[in-house]
């Protein structure tokens, strides 16, 4: 889009300056080449135009090539060349970014995948239902002593920050790794207390194992269940970012703050928009 | 005081119960950090903490406390290899019912 615009502009200026079509062509071709220096003929022609239009006091003394024209041509050609170079550079950058993104996707294909679970309203859901929106995903359990509530709060804060800053809705999801105790009702009770935005998911042991495996999440109920049959589930503490195409983008550990995460995710969102523009 | 250890087996503590548990834990931790793990001054606080937190949470928090103390010690005094340190000074686990 830029080169055409630029050439038209250059052409227009040339027409206005000299009113002779062959000069226009010369002008355009010099821009097309992007060379700071032109042939002698081009200099002559532009010099002539200058002389005809603006009568410089020095112009009459110098018969063919007044120094001001040299300078004008030099500046014009220089600016043109710089713009042209910038265009080529920007195009190259974008192509490179797309290429890199593709190769990254190949490397990332190992994390994430499809799952089938039931949401906290009892509705069967698959990962495909969430295509089209950015997702933050956390695996945990409702009897979790301290880490899960902190991480869920953080995930919700990130979603709020992104909504404010990027004007983008991010869907926070919670998948339980404790199918034994966390039925639909328990997950609903748990999630609703955090935020109406948070959607909880549960399922059979197999469904949850499949989802956890897809995201390389380790989970294991601690063997030391007490007399009340209470136990703690040891699990991977990671928040996953998934893009609107359902692809895994990045993950965040406990050491990342909500602000850091929102900033980082914001850059991914910008990049996503840019590459699909 | 509500004995949440009993009901926790089925229903997870809610937000208010979680907060009550964490607050009692923090109060107890503050006390033992100041007075030592065996200080009788902290007994009452420990009882409250045990009442307000599910048993499994208490186990988890106790382990966490020991780990945090150990981490602090390493940060302050540097790491001491176990071979050079025949008498385990860092060992506060002691195997007792308390931390």
The structure tokens 């089925």 sit at: B10
Closest approach of B36 to chain A, Cα-based (Å): 24
* A-B Cβ pairs (cutoff 8 Å, strict): 49
Ranges of beta strands (E only) in A17-123 are 116-119
Q: Hey, what are B8's tokens?
A: 């926790």
Token pair in block for residue A64: 């063919």
pLDDT tens figures, A128-151:
999 999 999 999 999 999 999 999
A247 part of contact set with chain B, CB < 8 Å: no
Binding residues of A for Cu cation: 144, 148, 235
Domain coordinates of chain B in residue numbers? Answer: 14-62
Say if CB B50 and CB B25 are below 8 A apart.
no
A145, B57: Cβ pair inside 8 Å?
Answer: yes
pLDDT in tens, A40-90: 444 444 444 444 444 545 545 555 656 678 888 899 999 999 999 999 998
Please say if the pLDDT value at position A34 is more than 70. Answer: no
Reduce the DSSP state of residue A110 to 3 states and report it. coil
ipTM surpassing 0.90? no
Most confident of A118-122, B3-7, B78-82, B90-94: A118-122
Please state which CATH number belongs to domain A116-275.
3.40.30.10
Phi, psi of A135 (to 5 degrees): -130, 140
Query: What residues of chain B lie within 8 A of the CB of A193, using their CB?
Result: 14-15
User: How much is the mean pLDDT over chain A?
Assistant: 79
Residue A259 has pLDDT above 70, yes or no: yes
Give A142 to chain B, closest Cα distance, Å. Answer: 6
- What pLDDT is stored for residue A152 in this prediction? 96
Residue ranges covered by each domain of chain A: 2-108, 116-275
Instruction: Report CB contact under 8 Å: A190, B12.
Output: yes
Strands A239-242 and A134-140 turn out to be antiparallel
Higher pLDDT, A160 or A55: A160
Lowest mean pLDDT among A154-158, A257-261, B25-29, B36-40: B36-40
Q: Is residue B94's pLDDT more than 70?
A: no
CA dihedral A63, A67, A69, A70 (to 10 degrees): 120
């Amino acid at each position: 889009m830029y080169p055409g615009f630029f050439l038209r502009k250059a052409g227009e200026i040339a027409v206005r300056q000299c009113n002779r079509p062959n000069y226009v062509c010369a002008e355009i071709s010099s821009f097309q080449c992007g060379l700071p220096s032109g042939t002698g003929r081009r200099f002559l022609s532009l010099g002539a135009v200058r002389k005809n239009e603006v009568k410089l006091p020095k112009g009459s003394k110098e018969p063919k090539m007044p120094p001001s024209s040299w300078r004008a041509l030099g500046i014009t050609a220089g600016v043109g060349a710089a713009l042209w170079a910038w265009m080529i550079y920007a195009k190259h950058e974008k192509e490179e970014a797309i290429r890199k993104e593709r190769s990254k996707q190949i490397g990332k294909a190992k994390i994430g995948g499809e799952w089938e679970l039931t949401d906290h309203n009892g509705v069967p859901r698959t990962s495909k239902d969430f295509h089209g929106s950015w997702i933050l995903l956390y695996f945990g359990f409702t009897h979790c002593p301290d880490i899960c509530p902190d991480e869920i709060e953080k995930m919700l804060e990130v979603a709020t920050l992104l909504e404010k800053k990027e004007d983008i809705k991010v869907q926070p999801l919670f998948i339980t790794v404790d199918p034994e105790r966390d039925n639909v009702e328990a997950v609903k009770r748990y999630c609703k207390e955090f935020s109406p935005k948070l959607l909880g998911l549960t399922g059979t042991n197999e469904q949850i194992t499949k989802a956890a495996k897809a995201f390389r999440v380790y989970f294991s109920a601690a063997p030391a269940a007490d007399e009340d049959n209470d136990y703690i589930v040891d699990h991977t503490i990671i928040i996953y970012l998934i893009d609107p195409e359902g692809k895994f983008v990045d993950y965040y550990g406990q050491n990342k703050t909500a602000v850091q995460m929102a900033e980082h995710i914001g850059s991914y969102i910008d990049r996503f928009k840019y590459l699909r523009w | 005081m509500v004995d949440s250890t009993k009901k926790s087996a089925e229903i997870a503590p809610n937000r208010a119960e979680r907060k009550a548990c964490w607050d009692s834990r923090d109060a107890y931790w503050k006390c033992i950090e100041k007075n030592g793990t065996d200080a009788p001054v902290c007994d009452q606080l420990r009882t409250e903490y045990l009442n307000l937190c599910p048993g499994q949470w208490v186990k988890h928090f106790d382990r966490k406390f020991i780990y945090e103390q150990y981490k602090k010690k390493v940060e302050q005094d540097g790491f001491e290899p176990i071979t050079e340190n025949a008498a385990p000074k860092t060992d506060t686990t002691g195997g007792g019912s308390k931390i």
